[in-house]
Chain A
Amino acid sequence: MDITRRQFIKSAAMQSAAASAAVLFPGISFGAWKNIDSGGIEWKKTPCRFCGTGCGLLVGVSGDRAVAVKGDPNCTVNQGLCCVKGYHSIQILYGKDRVTKALVRKNGQMVETPLKEALDLVASKMQETIKNHGKDSVAMYGSGQWSITDGYVSSKLFKGCIGTNNLEANARLCMASAVTGFLTSFGLDEPMGCYDDIDHADVFITWGNNMAEMHPVLFSRMLANRKAKNHVLIIDFATRTTRTSQAADKSIIFNPQTDLAVANSICYEIIRNDWVNWDFVNKHVSFHKGKTNIGYGTQDHFQFNDKEEPVDFEAYKAFLEDYTPEKVAKLSGVPAKDIKYLAALYGDPDKKVTSFWCMGMNQHTRGTWINNLVYNIHLLVGKISTPGNSPFSLTGQPSACGTVREVGTLTHKLPHGVVMNEGARKLAAKIWDVPVENIDPKPTYHTVEMFRALDRGDIRFMWIQVTNPMVTMPNLNRYRNGAKKDDRFIVVSEIYPTPTYDVADVVLPAALWIEREGFFGNSERRTQHNEQIVPMPGDCMSNTWQIIEVARRMGFEKQFPWSEKTYIEDIWNEYGQFHDNPKHRMAPYKDLKARSGLQWPYVNGLETKWRYNPKYDPAAEGKDFDFYGKPDRRAWIWLRPYEPAAESPDSEYPFWLNTGRVLEHWHTGSMTRRVPILHRAVPESYVEINPDDASRLGITSGSKVKISSRRGSVTMKASINGRGRPPQGMVFVPFFDESYLINEATLDAFCPISKQPDYKKCAVKLERA
């Protein structure tokens, strides 16, 4: 690399101008700027590999190696800013123990094997399993970190060609309640707003959402808005004190699970004070109730189907009588005055309010309900689908939206619609060139049930890509033991050794992120493209191409005809046929390649920032709002009661266990723990304990504590008054460290509607170790 000082200064001048332009004109693009430093570093755009924010990065390449990262000033998401994971992201490519060759288990040992031979084995084993045990004995488990094309070809192979709906993705563990929340309230998935809401809002309320660590770039935008305007408020509503609480104007702590009651109580107060936006409610809202006492799904073969009944406003008002602030204060631990304060913020017609949430509301045995209830608040006051007024469900993973929710890599979904719908099956069969009878109209297993089926033996073959379920499944002991049974065959496409790799019969070396061309779809309906920026090491292959290779070996050459040179573009063009309507049209390949992400619906060259509002949304009709996802073209307010958690502390297990993430590590740490600076920052997991509880139990910071539930136990170091502080009666454990498998203690209870497990609430006891 040879760059003169003058070239460097000119490059800085150019970047400064681009950054200024990005601030003045969000969305501005300088496609003609080739991002080439004459000194030898070439800068190429890509979305970040990590969270669902979808920050745009510029990766500096010298020769064949990625050598630098900076924020992409052309990307409106982050406007040139990155978080610590983003700035160090390229180092995940170069870990010393990178998987670069295929491995096959022979006599109990993993043996390096030619890739072609490993792919032959995967295809033949899948065919043999189908022949012996039926099509529903094989399964694929993917990821919200899959590129869009990975998910698309897996759906085509499993649902269209093999004819099984045994396709799930780890987004079931993180976003399923958001999906069912959107579907039940609006009839269509994904947020109506966008990140521009952050620049317009007067009040932010974070519902169980530690954005300062989990979505730090968006949190920075919130702080910038507050600093610029002076009157902006950030209210943190959570079960433990975090860095978000510390930066907020007010922190309100509630007892686990009682967010349901508080949300209803806010609505009670809005109605009692007549803060209802009657014009909006009368024209755009209808009222509905569903089943109650709906269970927790802890037993195998659990089934639940909700039954909707229309009700009127008076019935809703009567339902809320159980949720006066005074009653709810006793249950939730939130003072009545704080509930009234929250209601007053939402109810003030002069304040634009944005609510943010992520895992706190989604990993919840009533996850669908709490999503509905926060929408209820916004709908009652008409604060939705306009700049700054936004109930905003954030995603955890970079393509939970793009790949899992939009492509539909869940058992009941197709790229457009659901398998139960004949029209959706016919459309898929036509585009996929398969007989419509191939597509089974009955969903099979959601994620927890899929791993139960693997344990029972109903599933015998599972192919796992871009996820690490042997760290992340709740009630982990059962599912790990199931995967290790002798007559199960597990294929893992991986980049590094992990506990999931440890249970594999075949490991396929996967290309990572910018080693292959791909697409992600972020939290705000933004699709982002990256070209292949650096070469793949060894025998690595993109997950998409691995699936194509296996599909062809199984006889589906006709459905997977693409060349290795153009397959990503070809697949994108085929996939686009599923969404070719004004409600969901995706940007064309050439536009995505040129720009730093584009939001759908993308119609006539324009992005859609706010859905359901005819001023912004080409699919919306009428003068003000049009919730066209529902047959009555209204948004639905749901009567959803408080119901307790699946397992609560008792005399034997007196603490709540809450699990989650930390800023420096991505999910199970398989990538970020191989980045030295991130690893050194948080080298091992720990248990956060309230100082009063610790004092009572004689536990000091750094001392060993055994955490036990009815399912398993983990011994790890205590953290007291660290970055997070749980209230008395709760402990918090980050799950990034495979040396401390906290999910051996968690409970596999889930929301009966979304089937998403609750990782935030189960009962444990503590002992000094």
Chain B
Amino acid sequence: MPIFSYLAYPVEGAKEQLLNDLAALDFCEVTPAENKEILILVTDTPDEETEKKLQEKLRALESLESLGMTFGHTDTDE
């Protein structure tokens, strides 16, 4: 049951699009910065398999330039 947080960088001029794209994905909570071209993404998936699928969907987003991980937790941490 992994939980991760990221700083999500949009491709130039695509912050709104990225916000919409991320908000549309299951297991994702997204919070845009008000005054910078960046968003916070928190993912909370039920298992490793779902996490892998989510990662694939994230990689496929054209509005996403890159993700920088800021926090990670999986049950194996316990």
Interface residues of A (CB under 8 A from B): 6, 9-10, 12-14, 16-21, 24-25, 27-33, 594-595
Q: Is the CB of B40 within 8 A of A18?
A: yes
Once the chains bind, are B71 and A30 in contact (CB under 8 Å)?
no
**Interface residue? B55 (CB, 8 A):** no
Residue of B nearest to A18 (CB): B40
* Cβ A32 vs Cβ B70 within 8 A: no
List CB contacts (< 8 Å) of B37-78 with chain A. 38, 40-42, 44, 68, 70-71, 73
A13 touches B3 (CB 8 A): yes
Q: A594 to B34, Cβ gap below 8 A?
A: yes
CB <8 Å contact, A14 and B40: yes
Contact A16-B32, Cβ < 8 Å, known A10-B44, A21-B38: no
Please give the distance in Å from B37's CB to the nearest CB on chain A: 9
Number of interface residues of B (CB under 8 A): 22
11 more A-B contacts (CB under 8 A) besides A9-B73, A13-B71? Answer: A10-B3, A10-B42, A14-B40, A17-B6, A17-B41, A17-B42, A20-B68, A20-B70, A21-B7, A25-B38, A30-B32
Chain B residue contacts of A12, Cβ below 8 A: 71
How many angstroms from the CA of A580 to the CA of B33 in the assembled complex?
28
Find out whether the CB atom of B34 lies under 8 angstroms from the CB atom of A21.
no
For residue A20, which residues in chain B have a CB less than 8 angstroms away from its CB? 7, 68, 70
Q: Give Cα A31–Cα B3 distance, bound, in whole angstroms.
A: 23
B45 → chain A, closest Cβ, in Å? Answer: 12
- Specify which chain A residues have a CB less than 8 angstroms from the CB of B33 in the assembled complex: 21, 25, 28-30
| Interchain residue pairs with CB less than 8 A apart (18) | A6-B1, A6-B3, A13-B3, A13-B42, A13-B73, A14-B40, A16-B70, A16-B71, A17-B7, A19-B70, A20-B68, A21-B33, A25-B38, A28-B33, A30-B34, A31-B34, A32-B32, A595-B34
Expressed in whole angstroms, the Cα–Cα distance for A10 and B5 within the complex equals 8
Residue of B nearest to A5 (CB): B78
* Max count, chain A CB within 10 A of own CB: residue among B6, B68, B71, B73: B71
User: Complex formed: what's the CA distance from A594 to B73 in Å?
Assistant: 31
Please indicate the chain A residues that have their CB under 8 angstroms from the CB of B29 in the complex.
10, 14
Separation of A12 and B3 alpha carbons in the complex (Å)? 10
| B7–A24 CB distance below 8 A | yes
The residue in B40, B41, B42, B73 that gathers the most chain A C-beta atoms within 10 A of its C-beta is B40
Do A32 and B38 touch (CB < 8 A)? no
Known contacts A10-B44, A21-B7, A32 near B31 by CB under 8 Å: yes
What residues of A have a CB within 8 angstroms of the CB of B41 in the complex?
Answer: 17
Shortest Cβ-Cβ A-B pairs, 6 listed: A13-B5, A16-B71, A17-B5, A13-B71, A17-B70, A17-B40
Q: Given the complex of chains A and B, what is the CA–CA distance between A595 and B35 in angstroms?
A: 10
B3 touching A9, Cβ below 8 Å = yes
Cross-chain contact B35 with A17 (CB below 8 angstroms) = no
The distance in angstroms between the C-alpha atoms of A495 and B29, with both chains bound, is 43
For residue B58, give the distance in angstroms from its CB to the closest CB of chain A. 15
Closest CB in chain B relative to A75 CB, distance in Å = 13
Q: Which of B34, B36, B42, B68 has a CB less than 8 Å from the CB of A14?
A: B42
A33 and B31 contact, Cβ closer than 8 Å, known pairs A13-B4, A17-B70, A17-B71? yes
The answer to whether A29 and B5 have CB atoms under 8 Å apart is no
**Closest Cβ of chain A: how far from B65's Cβ, in Å?**
15
Per the bound structure, the CA–CA distance linking A6 and B44 in Å amounts to 9
A24 to B6, CA, bound (A): 13
Report A607 CB to chain B, min CB distance, Å: 10
Residues of A within 8 A of B73 (CB): 9, 13
Query: What residues of A have a CB within 8 angstroms of the CB of B35 in the complex?
Result: 27-29
CA distance A530 to B32 in the complex (A): 22
Closest A residue to B6 by beta carbon equals A17
With A6-B3, A13-B4, A13-B42: A28-B36 Cβ-Cβ less than 8 Å: yes
Q: Which residues of B sit under 8 angstroms from A29, Cβ to Cβ?
A: 33-35
Chain B: minimal CB distance from A87 (Å): 22
Chain B residues lying within 8 Å of A18, measured Cβ to Cβ, are 40
Q: How far is the CB of A389 from chain B (nearest CB, A)?
A: 26
CB distance from B28 to the nearest CB of A (A): 12
Bound: A28/B39 CA distance, A: 11
Which residues of B are found within 8 Å of A28, using beta-carbon distances?
33, 35-36, 38
Q: Which residues of B contact A13 (CB under 8 A)?
A: 3-5, 42, 70-71, 73
Q: Does the CB pair B31–A25 fall under 8 Å?
A: no
B residues within 8 A CB of A10? 3, 29, 42, 44
CB distance from A526 to the nearest CB of B (A): 15
Could you say which of B5, B34, B44 contacts A32, with CB atoms under 8 Å apart? B34
The answer to whether B5 and A16 touch across the interface, beta carbons within 8 angstroms, is yes
Name, among B1, B7, B33, the residue most crowded by chain A CB atoms within 10 Å (CB to CB).
Answer: B33
Closest to B37 in A: A25
Residue of A nearest to B35 (CB): A29
Which residue of A14, A16, A594 contacts B31 across the interface (Cβ within 8 Å)?
A: A14
Cα distance A17–B7 when bound, in Å? 6
Which residue in chain A gives the minimum CB-CB distance to B32? A32
Roughly how many angstroms separate A27 CA and B29 CA in the complex, as a whole number? 22
Most buried by B among A10, A12, A13, A20: A13
Chain B residue with Cβ nearest A12: B71
CB neighbours (8 Å) of B32 from chain A are: 30, 32
In the bound complex, what is the Cα–Cα distance between A506 and B44 (angstroms)? 58
A30 and B40 within 8 A (CB): yes
A375 smallest CB distance to B (angstroms): 33
Which A residues are CB-close (under 8 A) to B42? 10, 13-14, 17
- Best-surrounded residue of B31, B32, B44 (most CB of chain A within 10 A): B31
Nearest opposing residue in chain A for B4, CB measure: A13
- Decide: A30 and B31 in contact? CB cutoff 8 A: yes
Q: Pick from B41, B44, B70 the residue with the most CB of A within 10 Å.
A: B70
Complexed CA–CA distance, A595 and B34 (Å): 9
Instruction: Give the distance in Å from the alpha carbon of A12 to the alpha carbon of B70 in the complex.
Output: 10
A33 to B1, CA, bound (A): 24
Give the complex CA separation of A581 and B68 in angstroms.
Answer: 41
Q: Report the separation of the CA atoms of residues A9 and B3 in the bound assembly, to the nearest whole angstrom.
A: 8
CA distance A14 to B38 in the complex (A): 14
Contacts of A594 in B (CB 8 A): 34
Task: Please name all residues of chain B whose beta carbon is closer than 8 Å to the beta carbon of A30 when the two chains form the complex.
Answer: 31-34, 40
Contact A25 B3 (CB under 8 A): no
Q: How far is the CA of A380 from the CA of B36 in the complex (A)?
A: 38
Residue on B nearest A594 in the bound complex, by CB: B34
Q: Chain A contacts of B1 at CB under 8 A?
A: 6
A9 proximity list for chain B (CB < 8 A): 3, 73
Least CB distance, A52 to chain B, in whole angstroms = 25
| Shortest distance from the beta carbon of A33 to any chain B beta carbon, whole Å | 5
C-alpha gap A595/B7 in the complex (Å) = 20
Closest B residue by C-beta to A31: B34
Interface string of B10-26 (1 = CB under 8 A from A): 00000000000000000
